[in-house]
Amino acid sequence: MKPNHFIDLTDWSPQDLLEMLDLAVFLKKEWKSGGNRPVLKGKVLGMIFQKPSLRTRVSFEVGMKHLGGDALYLSPAEIGLGQRESIADVARVMAGYVQGIMARVFAHEHVVELARWSSVPVINGLSDYNHPCQALADMLTIYEHFGRLKGLKLAFIGDGNNVATSLLMASAMLGLNYSIASPPGYELAQETLAKAAPLAKASQITVETHEDPVAAVADADIIYTDTWTSMGQEAEAAVRRQKFQRYQVNDELLSRAGRGAVVMHCLPAHRGEEITDSVADGPQSLLFPQAENRMHAQKALLVTLMA
Ligand code: CP
Ligand code: NVA
C-alpha cells in the first residue's frame, strides 16, 4: 500500500516514485495540449508556510487550480504552528476544512508531527532536513533531458543541506551515481549517508563524498548547487560566504565535468556566490525548465494523494 503522506522520499518505493514520474509526464503533456481534467474538483490544499517561497507556493497553488481544485495560502504570520496552537490541534482543525495539507517548516519533526495527527495527506514542502518535492521534480527534469535516470552521475557542490539530502535519496532509489563536495563542517550528516547506503547498494550506485569540488564533478552528467546560506541561517551568512568560496559553480568547474553535463539549481540563486551568471544563463543550464517542472511533478503527487 502506498503511504498517505509525502514527508520523505524513502517512505515510498522506487516503483512508486517512477509511477509518479510517469504520471507527471502524462499530466504535463495533457496540460500543454489544452488543459488537465478536473480530477481534484471540489478539493482544497491548505498550504502552511513558516518560511518564504516563490516556486513551492505558486506551483502548488496553480497546480491545484489546473486540476480543478483550489489552494489556500497561510503565511508565516498566520497559524503560529506550535506556538499559537499545538501542531496536533492545527492538524486536526485543518483536516476538517481541507483535503490535503502542504507545509514548509523549520524543524523536520514539525511536518512529521502534522502528518501524525492529520487525517488528510500531508506534503513536506521543505524542512531543515529535506526537500522531497524538489528532488521529485528534479528527477523529472533529468529524465526529460537524458531520456533515462539509471547510470547517470549527479554531483552536488556545496552545503550538505536539505536539497542535497533529498537528491541523495532520489539518486540512491532511482539509480543515479551521486557525489558531493562540501567544505569541512558542512558535509551531509552521517545518519543521512547511512540511511542512503542500503538504497544505494540495492540500486548498485556509488556515493562519493569529497572536499574538492573538481574531484566531485569528474565524469558528472549533472552539476547541482544550492545557496550557501539556507533560510533560517541568515546570521551565519558572512562566515558561510567565506567557507564556501571554493564551491562556486562557474565555467571553470563546469569544464571539469563530463561532456554534455547540465547544471541545476533548486533556486532561489545567489548569482555571483554559488553560481555565476554565465553558467546559470548558459547553454548547459536547466534552471528554468527545472523550476517549471515543480508544478508538473507536484500535480502527479497531488493526484496520487488526493484524487
Ligand atoms: N526551490 C524552492 O523550493 O523554491 P521556493 O523556496 O521559492 O519555494
Ligand atoms: N536550502 C535552501 C533551499 C531553498 C529552496 C533553503 O533551505 O533555504
**If you measure from the C-alpha of residue 58 to the centroid of ligand 1, how many angstroms do you get, rounded to a whole number?**
9
Q: Give residue limits of the domains in the chain.
A: 9-131+294-306, 134-290
Active site residue 219: no
Distance 199 CA to ligand 1 centre (A): 27
The correct CATH number of 9-131+294-306 out of 3.60.150.10, 3.40.50.2300, 3.40.50.1370, 2.10.109.10 is 3.40.50.1370
- Is 294 considered catalytic here? yes
d(CA 158, CA 255): 18
Q: Is 109 exposed, middle or buried (0-12, 13-18, 19+ CB in 10 A)?
A: middle
Which position has the grid cell 482544497? 44
Q: Tell me: cis bond preceding 14? Omega within 30 of 0 counts.
A: no
Task: Give the pLDDT of residue 251.
Answer: 98
Nearest atom (ligand 2) to Cα of 233: 8
pLDDT of residue 230: 98
The pLDDT score that the predictor gives to residue 269 is 98
R_g of the chain, CA atoms, integer Å: 19
**Whether the domain at 9-131+294-306 and the domain at 134-290 fall into the same CATH topology:** yes
Is 134 considered catalytic here? Answer: yes
Give the H or E element holding residue 263: strand 262-265
The preferred substitution site among 111, 124, 162 for testing ligand 2, maximizing ligand atoms within 8 Å of CB, is 162
User: pLDDT value at position 80?
Assistant: 82
pLDDT the model gives residue 170:
99
Q: Which pLDDT belongs to residue 70? A: 98
Q: How high is the pLDDT of residue 184?
A: 98
Active site residue 55: no
Tell me which of 99, 134, 248, 290 is the catalytic residue: 134
Q: What confidence score (pLDDT) does residue 83 get? A: 87
Count of Cβ atoms closer than 10 Å to residue 8 Cβ: 20
If you measure from the C-alpha of residue 53 to the centroid of ligand 1, how many angstroms do you get, rounded to a whole number?
A: 5
Residue nearest to atom 1 of ligand 1 (CA): 266
Closest CA to 220 of 157, 130, 286: 157
Question: Is 41 in contact with 69 (CB distance < 8 Å)?
Answer: yes
For residue 169, which amino acid is it? M
Residue of 260, 251, 255 whose CA lies nearest to 278: 251
Grid cell 523536520 — which residue?
Answer: 108
Closest of 212, 197, 195, 207 to residue 157, by C-alpha: 212
At 232, list the grid cell: 533560517
Residue-level pLDDT at 3: 87
Task: Give residue 79's pLDDT.
Answer: 84
* Tens digit of each residue's pLDDT (9 = 90 or more) over 206-241: 999 999 999 999 999 999 999 999 999 999 999 999
Give every residue of the chain whose pLDDT is below 50, as ranges: none
CATH 3.40.50.720 fits 134-290, yes or no: no
